[in-house]
Chain A
Amino acid sequence: MASSSFATNASFMTATASNGTPAPASPAANPVAVPPVPAPVQPVAPPPEPAPALLAGSVIQLHVVDHAIKGVHLETTVSPDQVIASALEMDQAGLALDTITGVDWLAEKQMEVVYDYFHPVTGLRVAIRSRVSREDPEIPSISQVFPGANWHERETHDFFGIIFAGHPNLEPFLLPEDATYHPLRKDFAS
């Protein structure tokens, strides 16, 4: 049902694809007869196209990391008051909100909030972290910048008890509506 309305991909996608590793030695037509030499499979990271612009004109200091090892192209740690500025910057660079989550660092008495972004055109992946104290875990909400952050922040509040200041409706999302516990805190015991 190859409909003519399904044109092949836009040029950026072919550009991304052509950047892959060279194709392996000609594959065997018959899978049983000729076993080709197994070549190690190396996943290839796409070229992070908006990366230079993000790195140059950025108020937040992004660092390049190896996508093949970490699964992201750029990452950084910002202070809680820079969270909204970093979200605005990601928004202007055309990135989409991937997810927001938390990590409880009990030994260090800190809560980490991780903001993941992806670029819907180039595939660039950015992770921005921020840490708040465990006693007073409060961080500004980015739901004014990305409305999709609303549910992710509610979920993070459910699981970790992190307060997202300025959130329109910080009520339990996945937990029962009368839940007073935060199950992903490391000192949580059911």
Chain B
Amino acid sequence: MTAPELIESPSERAPRENFVLNLGPQHPATHGVLRVKLTMDGEFITRAEPVCGYIHRMQEKMAENRTFAQFLPNTSRIDYLSAMTYTHAFVGAVERAAKLQVPPRAEYIRVITSELNRISSHLVWWGAFLLDLGGFTPLLYAFDDREKILDLLEAITGARLTYSYYRIGGLYNDVDDAFLSGTRAFVSHMRPRLKMYRELVTDNIILRKRLIGIGPVSAEMCRKYGASGPVLRGSGVAYDVRKAEPYSVYNQLDFDVPHLPEGDSMARYLVRLEEIAQSLRIIEQGIDKLPSGPVMAEKVPRVLKLPAGDYCYAVEAARGRFMVRIVSDNKEIPYRVKLRTPCLSNLSLFEEASRGMLLPDALAFMGSLDLVIPDIDR
């Protein structure tokens, strides 16, 4: 990059210099209130410094002021796009500490609803990501399909986004036959749609030119920053909490962990689309294997006190590894709750990985990280 003659410095005291560009906190490409302080050399980024905390709500302090059951609805509001998996981690940690035996039917329904939630989350990402890249149409297709999932989940949970469907020891209520047949119908509806997504978008030459080779992230960089989920799997590491620390009934279901070695934005894109296909497989098996029985453990004490100590429970959320660490001092309210969220770690590598990148490429890269800002800020 050489400066054009017209703007060349008029004197020796005014050399060519970098300028600071604020991206956000209100910018459509950041999908929420994230601010990135960019130091630019022309169109190239020399330093990108994310500034977080614009929607910080101090969820962890809230947890210290209410009982475990009272904090449960908050867990749907951290990453509002994958509320099911977040609630799963919280109730899982409490159940692990209280040694509650969750009925198998409840665990299977948790898996089915979590995977439906994962698909709806990936569909939002897919539509919004392509919107970032300048394609408006895919968003309409994605929201059309997502609507079917929201309708299914609304019928059993009463909510379309912040479900709070799981309870400590089981579920809020059982699913009915309409839900099961509707979910089967959705699975058979979604498979041809994935084929259409591929033909409509994935094979598009413009999309490929925008994504292939953009924002390369190595497996080593992921490890140093603790990145997980599709970011890590797009860098060739088949790490998935559902396999690495099996929870619920995932070890009784057959599914693959899609991973690609390239580490670029295209790899992350392909991994997420293949994850939708794998989630469909899990849902189908879950319905096939769904046992009958109660959906709530029998002896859940009304006043729940966890034995003193600390307990971790990790799940594979749509964006990666989400872990809850509960420190208990044998009281009704937790002594400390730590929420380890995937987006914070995934974004933390942005500064290093975006160095020297063109600004439009950095936006494509940021979109491929699939950020949900309340998940970072908590």
Q: Which residues of A contact B313 (CB under 8 A)?
A: 71
Please pick, from A8, A121, A127, the residue contacting B239 in the complex, using a CB distance under 8 A: A121
Q: In whole angstroms, what is the CA distance A150 to B350 when docked? A: 13
Say whether A70 contacts B238, CB under 8 Å.
no
Say whether B290 contacts A151, CB under 8 Å.
no
Q: In whole angstroms, what is the CA distance A175 to B53 when docked? A: 6
Q: In whole angstroms, what is the CA distance A47 to B292 when docked? A: 32
Q: Which residues of B contact A69 (CB under 8 A)?
A: 96, 311
Q: Is B169's beta carbon under 8 Å from chain A? A: no
Say whether A173 contacts B52, CB under 8 Å.
yes
Q: Which of B249-300 contact A (CB under 8 A)?
A: 249, 251-252, 256-260, 270, 273-274, 277, 287-293
Say whether B251 contacts A17, CB under 8 Å.
yes
Interface of A: prevailing SS: loop
Q: Which of A161-190 contact B (CB under 8 A)?
A: 172-176, 183-184
In the complex where A2-B277, A98-B321, A99-B340 touch, is A41 in contact with B312 (Cβ < 8 A)? no
Q: Which residues of A contact B83 (CB under 8 A)?
A: none
Say whether B256 contacts A8, CB under 8 Å.
yes
In the complex, the number of residue pairs spanning A and B with C-beta atoms less than 8 Å apart equals: 199
Q: In whole angstroms, what is the CA distance A35 to B352 when docked? A: 54
Say whether B323 contacts A9, CB under 8 Å.
no
Q: Is B349's beta carbon under 8 Å from chain A? A: yes
Q: In whole angstroms, what is the CA distance A48 to B221 when docked? A: 23
In the complex where A120-B237, A148-B225 touch, is A38 in contact with B251 (Cβ < 8 A)? no
Say whether A46 contacts B309, CB under 8 Å.
no
**Segment at the A interface, from B98-106, B121-129, B149-157, B158-166:** B98-106
Interface of B: prevailing SS: mixed
**Segment at the A interface, from B23-31, B55-63, B357-365:** B55-63
Q: Which residues of A contact B232 (CB under 8 A)?
A: 120
**Chain A interfacial positions (CB closer than 8 Å to B):** 1-3, 5-6, 8-10, 12-13, 16-17, 20-21, 23-24, 27-29, 31-32, 35-41, 43-46, 67-72, 94-99, 101, 103-104, 114, 116, 118-123, 125, 127, 146-148, 150-152, 159, 172-176, 183-184
> What 6 pairs between A and B have smallest CB-CB spacing?
A123-B244, A71-B312, A35-B292, A148-B225, A20-B251, A27-B289
**Chain B interfacial positions (CB closer than 8 Å to A):** 52-53, 56, 58, 60-61, 64, 93, 96, 101-105, 107, 177, 180, 194-195, 197-198, 219, 222-228, 232, 237-241, 243-249, 251-252, 256-260, 270, 273-274, 277, 287-293, 309-314, 321, 323, 325, 327, 335-336, 338, 340, 344-345, 348-349, 352, 377-378
